[in-house]
A = this chain, B = another copy of it.
């Protein structure tokens, strides 16, 4: 039984963490902080969590009593909180972008801040870094787009089969967070598809960093907002350097992910769908169709709030403490 705190528990990722931890038999939640809602019962903000009876607090990092803390705080805020927790011997899974980059300059260029407290962290994608995560004190939980994109592209990079990958991603609106804006206003996004940050989204360099550890690949990334609550569907357009069939490529993926509890490689020609992973920590990968120009299409589907955020954070925690990796996140998708 470990003690766990959540800093920034009133947003969507905070709500998901609370939901998963409620049914995790090895964990006691000792703090769920929210500056804005301190003193408010959690279920008044997260209306689904009617079985959770405690309130948000406004504890500072110095006062939290925990073995591990999830920092579900904005980019730029985590860098001020994480060091204080680590100093006190608390392990951290950070859901912001602050500790995802190997290279501080890349971070500072794309996020537009100076990094005040660079620290060594493990990039929390268990499919690559499981062994490092086990011993890590600080895990940088991956971005939502990078999770779906890296998992879709990695086996091809690993085999040095491609030079260029175009990630055309379609994301649900919950990825924009809990705060309303013009673009998340129902009459504006319903019945619409809205490309945004077409060539300048921060998740591009994050995908680039991990893919390029396997092979030199030019990474081009464009996200689109679709009228969907949860989920990221990633369409990878890429060109095979070798002459392979769809089945041969599928076989590479099958092998690459054969021991992974949360990655499901579908049969060649089978298309992943968001509903099949909705609410779940699974990533489905499929398609592998090849056209007359030698373009192969890989499709992946994840839930942006689960495998793309809070579920993966729980998975990381489970690995860090030697719990069963699927504990409290074994849920299969809510289809339909």
Q: Residues of A with Cβ closer than 8 Å to B?
A: 12, 15, 19, 22-23, 46-51, 164, 166, 168, 170, 172-174, 178-182, 184-196, 198-200, 204, 218-220, 222, 224, 226-231, 233, 235, 237, 264, 271, 273-280, 282, 284, 287, 289-293, 295, 297, 299, 330-336
Contact = CB atoms under 8 A, between A and B. Distances in A.
Given A192-B231, A198-B289, 6 more contacts: A49-B332, A164-B293, A174-B336, A186-B227, A192-B274, A227-B228
Nearest to A204: B291
A180 B173 CA distance: 14
Contacts of A332: 19, 22, 48-51
26 contacts: A19-B332, A47-B335, A48-B276, A48-B333, A50-B276, A50-B332, A168-B235, A172-B187, A173-B186, A173-B190, A178-B187, A179-B185, A180-B180, A184-B185, A186-B227, A190-B227, A192-B275, A198-B289, A198-B297, A199-B289, A199-B297, A218-B293, A219-B293, A220-B237, A226-B227, A279-B334
A299 B291 CA distance: 22
A203 to B, nearest CB: 13
A20 to B, nearest CB: 10
Contacts of A231: 191-193
B193 A185 contact: no
B191 A271 contact: no
A237 B166 contact: yes
Contacts of A230: 187, 191, 334, 336
Nearest to A264: B50
A327 B41 CA distance: 26
Nearest to A229: B187
Contacts of A19: 332
Contacts of A174: 187, 336
Contact of A295 (B22, B196, B220): B220
Contact of A188 (B204, B237, B275): B275
A140 to B, nearest CB: 23
Contacts of A220: 237, 291, 293, 295
Given A271-B198, A334-B334, A50 B284 contact: yes
Given A164-B293, A180-B185, A332-B22, A237 B222 contact: yes
Contacts of A336: 12, 174, 178, 187-188, 229-230
Contacts of A297: 195, 198-199, 222
A189 B274 CA distance: 9
